Amino acid sequence: MISVTANRMRTLMVGLALSAGIAGGASAQSLFDGCPSGPVMERFAEFGRTGQMPRDLGRWLNTPDAQYVAPWSPFDNVDYVGICWVSAWLIHTDEGTVLIDTLYGPFQQTLLENIEKTGTDLADIKYVLMTHGHFDHVGGAAGLKPLLPNARFVMTQGGWDEALGSSAASKGGSRAWDMIEADMVVSDGDEITLGGNTFAVIETPGHTWGTASYLYDVKDGDQTYRAITIGGLGLNAIEGPTQVEAFIESVDRVRALVAARDMGVDVHLTTHGFSNNLDEDRQKLATRTPGEPNIFVNPDGLIQQIEALRAGAVERLAIEQNK
């Protein structure tokens, strides 16, 4: 379990990374051994102190070999198919599969190869749930759409608007990317049912105005738990106090869902692994013995992370109000 201080810093650094952009370049495989949350966070902290992306960190962020994470399964019906710094999840049902977020740019091939390694047929993917319009979460949609003949691509109207606007603004630059036209538009409270699993949409504005989080069931043996993918963890590209206030309202709403223990949320499958020690927990899960609890069923840890997000947002609100 990570501390509130570390959580707050990780929240800030995810935002800084997205707002600064990602540098390309040669391989930086030697920067980290594996995908360690702490050391990755330390380099982001350096970025935060200096305001300049360290060249080796920028290369690492955009180097497929350095970012590679083999697919793994935290739950019986869930596969991780993302990379070290950005997540992508497969949620399997009896009637098809749901993909959460698309990765981007040089990681399109990684995503496709990881999906194949799970034994998932691309034709069986029925929905692509996208959390918000930042390139690292939706930049792969244009490349995926022709390969997923039966999939609907899903986002809030605000998310679609943000993604299309960001893609248009990137044209002519060194990091230009394409975005598909809006496909399936969802709103707060909407539900998508597939194979006995219900994917509920919660609009959680703040990270961006169009950010959505998704609730769904995950299975561990005979047990079923409600999981959440919180759509946005950072406060970058903030327009002013109103957006920070929206973020605070969103995390308060998520906390209430988690705190409702009888029908609440027990699992957080994050959009950025180093925000809550994803790879370290993966390694612990690999040594799990029969009868031992699943480390990813951790509502107390999720509440701690939410409280850290809120505390950081309250600090940011004071800064915005004093500008």
Torsion sign (Cα): 77, 190, 130, 285: negative
Whether 29 has a pLDDT exceeding 90, the answer reads: no
Cβ(106)–Cβ(86) under 8 Å? no
Say which residue, 26 or 166, is predicted with more confidence: 166
The structure's pTM equals: 0.91
Cβ(84)–Cβ(71) under 8 Å? no
| The residue type at 254 | V
- DSSP annotation of 180 reads P
Whether 146 has a pLDDT exceeding 90, the answer reads: yes
List pLDDT tens digits, range 240-295: 999 999 999 999 999 999 988 666 899 999 999 998 999 999 999 999 999 999 99
In this structure, what token pair is assigned to residue 204? 């959680």
Q: How many CA atoms lie within 13 A of 31 on its CB side?
A: 27
Say which residue, 12 or 197, is predicted with more confidence: 197
Give the ranges where the chain is alpha helix by DSSP (H): 4-20, 37-50, 55-61, 64-67, 108-117, 135-138, 141-144, 157-170, 241-259, 278-286, 299-321
List pLDDT tens digits, range 94-106: 999 999 999 999 9
Q: What is the pLDDT of residue 5?
A: 38
Say which residue, 6 or 143, is predicted with more confidence: 143
